[in-house]
Structure 1
Amino acid sequence: MTPTTATANPALSAMKDIRLPPEIGFWPPAPAILALFILALLSLIALSVWLYLRHQQKRRQQAPAKAALQLLSQLDSEDPQLMLQLSALLKRCAISYGGREQVASLTGECWYQYLDQALPVKQQGKFQRLLQQRYQMRPSAEDGEELKTLCQQWLLCAPSYYRRASKGGKSC
């Protein structure tokens, strides 16, 4: 007969089971993980602030064009003074973008060329033909509508054109 292990060696019966250490918990994290978490949080905050400031700057840049578009929609295309009103409206908006010293003194051919710079290539050259009719007694309603549409196009292109121009870019 074989003796049992407890009877064979009495010292084994006095031993206790091995106690395992407790499981490693989630908190507190290791210092490197905590540093990465803080860095990610700070990056997220910085990105949020940067995006907010960029959005505010874009809104400020578009504000003159937005106000001018509202005024443009109120103008009557059959008004005899339409050509002068549109030229004045564009001049005020261009001054807010390009600066008074650069824009206020522009007249005639220089003014038309200045307006054409912000337009897409396929639209360039139309301002000169339409705004030269501003001293006619009764410009046609079609010309008035075409000029209003062209002014609307300019007002939509102007913010992005001036933003690129301030960074050294080309027109749209």
Structure 2
Amino acid sequence: MEQDPLSKLRDIHIPEPGGFWPPAPGWWVLLLVIIALVFALALWARRRRQKNAWYRIANRDLDRLANRAAVTAKWFSELNGLLKQSAMARYPNRHPEALSGAEWIDFLLETSPKDRIASRPTVTAMVQSCYQATPDCSPDDAIRFARLWMGGKKC
């Protein structure tokens, strides 16, 4: 009989390293957070795209109007109609569809992003050109103002 109890001890065995699968609970939580963030970002982007659909449509229509610019009352009426549609989408609580004449001019200038004073003659001529046999507004100036007004602030 051996009296040495240490002789019965075995060497220390290091446990096998953990496998790749299944991950620790912290990784599952991180995965769920990432999935939630991606979902929220996709939802936000979709809502923003839907909210700004009027902007894409209005710019497309404005390009069409610019390509067939003419110094006619009908063309200026179409341009003002496009601006009114955009104003109704952009400022629905202010009821721009009911405005005409000086009120419509003031509304366009008030909601214009910049150069309000410099734009007044152009906007006045543009709105009045809808009712004149021979409009005195340049279509280029009117298109330039419309682009400035529509590009000022998206929802």
TM-score, normalising length from structure 2? 0.70
1:128-147 map, 5 Å = 128-140=124-136, 143-147=138-142
Once the two structures are TM-superposed, the CA of residue 14 in structure 1 deviates from its matched residue by: 5.9
- Tell me if 1:72 matches 2:65: yes
SS of corresponding position for 2:30: helix
Larger relative contact order (CA 8 Å, sep ≥ 6): 2
Of 21, 24, 28, which residue of structure 2 is paired with 1:30? Answer: 24
Structure 1 residues 57 and 135 mapped into 2: Cα distance closer, same or farther (>3 Å)? closer
Query: Does the CA contact (< 8 Å) of 2:73 and 2:129 recur in 1?
Result: no
Partner in structure 2 of residue 152 of structure 1: 147
Gaps of 5+ in 1: 1-8, 164-172
Partner in structure 1 of residue 34 of structure 2: 41
When Rg is computed on C-alpha atoms for both structures, the one with the higher figure is 1
Partner in structure 1 of residue 123 of structure 2: 127
Runs of 4+ in structure 1 off by over 6 angstroms are: none
Once the two structures are TM-superposed, the CA of residue 149 in structure 1 deviates from its matched residue by: 1.5
Q: State the one-letter code of the partner of 2:138.
A: D
The alignment-based identity, stated in percent, is: 21
Once the two structures are TM-superposed, the CA of residue 122 in structure 1 deviates from its matched residue by: 0.9
Structure 1 residues 93 and 44 mapped into 2: Cα distance closer, same or farther (>3 Å)? closer
Q: State the one-letter code of the partner of 1:56.
A: R
Structure 1 residues 12 and 131 mapped into 2: Cα distance closer, same or farther (>3 Å)? same
- Tell me if 1:106 matches 2:94: no
Q: State the one-letter code of the partner of 1:150.
A: F
TM-score, normalising length from structure 1? 0.64
